[in-house]
Amino acid sequence: MVPIDLGKTSVREGNEQIRQHGQNGEDVEIINPDARHHIGVGLVHPITVKVHGSAGYFCAGLSDSARFEVESNVGWGVGDNMYSGSVIVGGNAGAIPGVAIRGAEIVIHGNMGSRAGQVMKAGTLCCAGNANFMAGYMMYGGRIIILGDSGEKVGEDMSAGEIFVGGKVEDLGSDAELTDIDSAEIEEIMEFLDRYEIPFKGSFQKVVNAGKKLRYATSEQQMRSIPFFTFSGTSDYWNPKIQEDLYIKSQIGRYRIRGYGGARPLPHLSDLAFKKDLSAAGNENNIVSKVKMSTEIGGINGANPLKLSMPVMIAPMSYGALSASTKRAIGLASTMSDIAENTGEGGMSDAQRGAAKQLIFQMLGGRLGWNIHDMNRADGLEIYISQGAKPGLGGQLMAKKVTPELAKIRGIPAGIDLRSPSRHPDILGADDLVIKVEELREATGYRLPVSIKLGAGRVRDDIKIAVKDGFDFVELDGMQGSTGAGSAEVIDYVGIPTLSAIIEALDALEEIGRRQDIQIVLMGGIRDGVDAVKALCLGADAVALGTSTIIAGGCIACMQCHVGQCVTGIATQDPEHEKRYEPEVEAKNIHRFLESVRWQIAAITNGLGYNDVSQLSRDDLVALTPEAAAITGLPYEPQYGDADLDIHVRSVV
């Protein structure tokens, strides 16, 4: 056993050493742990780590195959997201022990804190003492064994998995029920207890999901297609949009789920114009080579930055909402245009990783598909807090799209209407968030940029928290952003416009004098290079494009993304439909679109008299509407409107 003394060595240095010993196959003992956080995170080798004392938050988190033994207590989130391997805790465990485990065995000899095994997917969490509030909260699979009492609301909103309680079942959670146990299950439990030398003589009660909330009671039927452009029209009172809405609600008796972005007219980048005659912009040859557009994102705190050939990246969209072929096409296009792609929720496939040269890996509250191995092969890590289309809510993936393959990568049961958690199990405030950010950095040796995806709500406060918590950049998403499935009311009415979001963010950072400490990637209804330049002029460091790339790649904007029978093969998991999508062809289409964006950025930047996108400033803009002027503080000069329309039309031609 190699000793590491945390009284003398920092946790960061200690973790580097643990990983090194892991590679060498040497066991490690930790002396003077003193309840420090993040001990052993990111370890992927089958060694034994003995902790002589107590460990803090996320001990053994984001690890695979190691065996941890902690003599005394552990803080929150022991074994977080652990794949295989084990953790034995001699004392008590804090809240969310075994959170999001995917196969590991976590054994706690004392009592354990609240929300044990939250969003766990597989493996066993065993507590020899009492559990606390909401054990098994939102678990997707695996087994929890509690030898003592269950605590209140055991099995709250579990989707699958089993909870065995040896003591008193105090109170069942929502959609949980007691069921019979067969003798084989008892034998397996006793075998497990024997293996960990835990004596037990009593009997068990078994708690499982009651199956009442896994699917919406009535599905929303597919309607005749009203394309987004008609749907979002501002025509008369009882227009087709309103009629469709009423009819569907008459059938389902609840809010609607739909894809795409908000349909209400809102102040947007199109309400701004450039304060210069750009009629000659772009007439020169090789305009692209005359403007410096390459942009680094994520390196301000020392991580390896994303290197973008222009200040543009792909917005996060999940494999799940989109087909594997579509993710592949987008990944290929991002490589061809030398920008970065983003996994969105739901994990990273080999195909995705192979297609995209630079790939951001996103972590959501359900930890669907999240794991250390894919973190290690990502180029950036992103913590999703919310998204512009539906701030404050989790994702929705209807049963039709939750195929066995998809369920496997996400670690969930197939065929449920997946309503992803709206919050993270271990991020319940800015104070927890900072510990989480540190865990991701520790697990990956501080190599990768860590970003935060923020749906625009109370941006003024949230961006300050983001900068204090040490994020490298923020992906700030206004309410014009789209989604694969969200409730229509939220898509249309919750959040603040992209324009307001960027202004609030910049004001807030100026207020605390920390603009230089975080980069901003703006998204939410950014359509092309013209919008992109306006965003850069306002003060964004880069923009992200989602919907526009999908449309460039064949989407017909019918808004039925949630149904799962996308005729173009984009928003579907049905092989029959996906067959229609030709990733190689669409990749080229998306690439060509991205190159048109590049050309627009270059032409406008050059037309404004600059040779570097970093020279763009808000002095280059005016507002065309009183609302946009009020939001941005730009001068209200509507006479510039015609010229702006002109540049849109011309650059499209």
Partner 1 sequence: MCGIAGIMLKDSSEPFNTGEALVNMLNGCQHRGPDSTGFALYGQAQENKLKLRLFVGQGKEADTAINRIKKFLQEQGATIVDDEHVGEAYRVTVNFSGDIQKFSYALEHAAKVVSIGNSLEIIKDVGSAEDVDGRYNIHNYRGSHGLGHVRLATESDVKPEAAHPFWATGFADVAIVHNGQITNYWKMRRRLEQRGYEFRTDNDSELIAVYLADKLSQGIALKEALKTSIDDLDGTFSFLVSTKDEIGYAKDRLAVKPMVMYETDDLVAVASEEVSLNKLFPGQALNTKEPPPGTYNTWSRST
Q: Which parts of this chain interact with partner 1 (CB under 8 A)? A: 7, 32, 34-37, 52-54, 56-57, 71-73, 75-76, 91-92, 94-95, 113-115, 132-133, 151-152, 428-431, 434-435, 438, 458, 461, 464-465, 468, 512
CB of 462 to partner 1, least distance (A): 9
CB of 98 to partner 1, least distance (A): 15
**Residue placing its CB nearer to partner 1 in the complex, 338 or 517:** 517
CB-CB contact of 317 with 546 (8 Å): yes
**Residue placing its CB nearer to partner 1 in the complex, 79 or 94:** 94
Q: How many CB atoms lie within 10 A of CB 236?
A: 7
Q: How many residues does the chain have?
A: 653
H-helix segments, 498-635: 498-511, 529-538, 547-552, 575-578, 583-607, 626-632
- DSSP code per residue over 110-143: S-B-SSTTTT--EEEEEESS---TTTTTT--SSE
Query: What 3-state DSSP class applies to 500?
Result: helix
**Residue placing its CB nearer to partner 1 in the complex, 35 or 567:** 35
User: Could you tell me how far CA 277 lies from the centroid of its own chain?
Assistant: 41
**Residue placing its CB nearer to partner 1 in the complex, 94 or 395:** 94
Render the burial of 288-308: b for 16+ CB within 10 Å, e for the rest.
Answer: beebebebbbbebbebebbbb
Is residue 576 classed exposed, middle or buried when 0-12, 13-18 and 19+ CB atoms within 10 A define those classes?
Answer: exposed
CB of 465 to partner 1, least distance (A): 6
CB of 170 to partner 1, least distance (A): 11
CB of 94 to partner 1, least distance (A): 5
**Residue placing its CB nearer to partner 1 in the complex, 120 or 314:** 120
CB of 438 to partner 1, least distance (A): 7
Q: Which of 369, 405, 362 is nearest to 387 (CA)?
A: 362
**Residue placing its CB nearer to partner 1 in the complex, 108 or 538:** 108
Question: Which amino acid is present at 330?
Answer: I
CB of 137 to partner 1, least distance (A): 11
**Residue placing its CB nearer to partner 1 in the complex, 439 or 541:** 439
CB of 41 to partner 1, least distance (A): 15
The angle, 0 to 180 degrees and rounded to 10, between the axes of the packed helices 529-538 and 641-652 is 130
**Residue placing its CB nearer to partner 1 in the complex, 434 or 556:** 434
Q: Which of 551, 138, 519 is nearest to 317 (CA)?
A: 551
Rounded Cα gap, residues 460 and 504, in angstroms: 5
CB of 615 to partner 1, least distance (A): 33
Q: Which of 254, 276, 286, 159 is nearest to 210 (CA)?
A: 159
**Residue placing its CB nearer to partner 1 in the complex, 208 or 430:** 430
CB-CB contact of 622 with 616 (8 Å): no
**Residue placing its CB nearer to partner 1 in the complex, 53 or 320:** 53
Rounded Cα gap, residues 430 and 441, in angstroms: 17
Phi (first) and psi of residue 295, to 5 degrees: -140, 135
CB of 541 to partner 1, least distance (A): 24
Render the burial of 530-550: b for 16+ CB within 10 Å, e for the rest.
Answer: bbbbbbbbbbbbbbbbbbbbb
